[in-house]
A = this chain, B = another copy of it.
Amino acid sequence: MPYSHPPDPDIPVAGGGLLDRRLFLRHSLGTGLALAGFEAMADAEPPPWMKTPGASFTNYGHPSPFEKDAIRWISANPGAPGNGISWTPLHKLEGIVTPNGLHFERHHNGVPRIDPDQHRLLIHGLVKNPLSFGVDDLLRYPLVSRLCFVECGGNSNAGWHAEPIQTPAGYFHGLASCSEWTGVPLATLLNETGLLPQARWLIAEGADADALNMSIPVEKALDDALVALYQNGERLRPENGYPMRIILPGWEAVLNVKWLRRLQAAQEPAMARNETAQYTEPQPSGIARQFSFIMEAKSFITHPSPGHRLRGPGLYQISGLAWSGRGKIKRVEVSADGGKSWAEAALQEPVLAQCFTRFRLPWRWNGQPLVLKSRAVDETGYVQPERSVLIDARGHNGYFHYNAIVAWAVAADGSLSHVYA
């Protein structure tokens, strides 16, 4: 647990009322709980749901009907409803695991309904021994599990807009989700087929109606790539690649090809639509970045965030998510004065490489307007940049790979909004 050895909670460690990360609240929240107070529930009439037998058992469960706002937010092409995205509501979630029903989606031509008994993965091209694998074949191989994030290269791209977008945080940064993926190391399968010396790329193809294809460097395929069959313990969800997909820890999601049917070893990349016309970034020089695979360190505050409302001055816990495609998160700092001063947040265990990391910090709000920010530092020493620094380097037309520091303005009435500050 991140809280222990409480220092004096009345001494802020940074501006805006930020308190020490080791502070475990050992005194009343005061105003906040005065609203609650004491009710004679001990003698009160029991609630209606205690007076009638409850619902019986279910083979597969679903969320409470009272949580119908905790859903993926969909943005699809009206003319091609299978082409679009849906965001994970990270502003509604806690911890680091994304439940499978809320994992973000990006489809180019919808979710195919694949019969796993008829689906096969072919590995061919510049290989010594082309092979095809069914699900049962893959399950013969050693499986490994990996808790890691998958993030769309276009996540957070509203940050490039001239005006700060006003949406809940999850519908701004929620093209990222985190699951425990279990599958066969791609290196194991490539050892079966063998690779010819001139093979530099693997061209992956999905079994969707878009036949989405992407080029993966052989080095990454031999390093930590998985052909995943399970997501958070159960088989992959259809929208996440059932029955098999590639997982490339820390790399942009479009390369984590879903519904994987083919890996063609080649000397050159395919120069496919999604690595030329899309998922490349025009820069101020006029030259576009291509093959920008790695998702750099990012963080943002999920609680409180736009759409939430503070219930008046007093103690709160600031909570958020940080991650880096380059390894573990080393440190997250939080500012409550727009970046003038910073306090180090507590990182919730486990802290894993290429995985969501939950950070938390106690905060005493004095009721005045101020600006909250978070800043992630990963184990390579990379520091999440301020927006102005990212814009200077990449211009306003980057579209992909936006990872600047995020600022939430807190108003005197306790409401929050997204600002560029």
Contacts and interface: CB of A to CB of B under 8 A. Distances in A.
Interface in A236-292: 236-240, 242-243, 261-262, 264
Interface string A51-94: 11111111111111111001111101000111011100000111
Contacts of A70: 234-235
Contacts of A243: 64, 66
Interface centre among A130, A140, A235, A261, by most B CB within 10 Å? A140
A391 interface: no
B53 A110 contact: yes
A420 interface: no
B237 A63 contact: yes
A389 interface: no
A116 B59 contact: no
A350 interface: yes
Chain A interface, >50% SS class: loop
Given A47-B119, A60-B71, A72-B57, A140 B311 contact: yes
A369 interface: no
A94 B228 CA distance: 11
Nearest to A70: B234
B61 A25 contact: no
Contacts of A25: 141-142, 188, 191
A14 interface: no
Interface in A109-123: 109-116, 118-120, 122
A137 interface: yes
Interface stretch (A153-161, A314-322, A404-412): A314-322
Contact of A26 (B26, B55, B191, B242): B191
A203 B107 CA distance: 51
Nearest to A191: B26
Given A54-B111, A55-B110, A96-B233, A358 B145 contact: yes
Nearest to A226: B1
B99 A82 contact: no
Contact of A143 (B50, B96, B182, B317): B317
A59 B41 contact: no
A230 interface: yes
B62 A180 contact: no
Interface residues of A, number: 136
Given A97-B97, A110-B55, A145-B94, A120 B41 contact: yes
B99 A233 contact: yes
A110 B50 CA distance: 10
Interface string A187-205: 1100110000000000000
Nearest to A145: B95
Nearest to A92: B234
Contacts of A145: 94-96, 348, 358
Given A53-B80, A242-B64, A137 B32 contact: yes
A185 interface: yes
A56 to B, nearest CB: 4
Contact of A113 (B1, B54, B317): B54
A3 interface: yes
A49 B207 contact: yes
Given A36-B133, A350-B352, 12 more contacts: A38-B131, A38-B132, A50-B209, A53-B209, A55-B82, A55-B238, A61-B237, A93-B234, A94-B143, A96-B180, A96-B233, A97-B233
11 contacts: A36-B133, A38-B132, A41-B122, A46-B207, A55-B111, A59-B73, A63-B234, A64-B235, A65-B113, A66-B242, A232-B232
> What are the 9 tightest A-B residue pairs by CB atom distance, in nearest-first order?
A54-B110, A59-B71, A49-B112, A56-B81, A41-B122, A95-B145, A94-B182, A93-B233, A94-B230
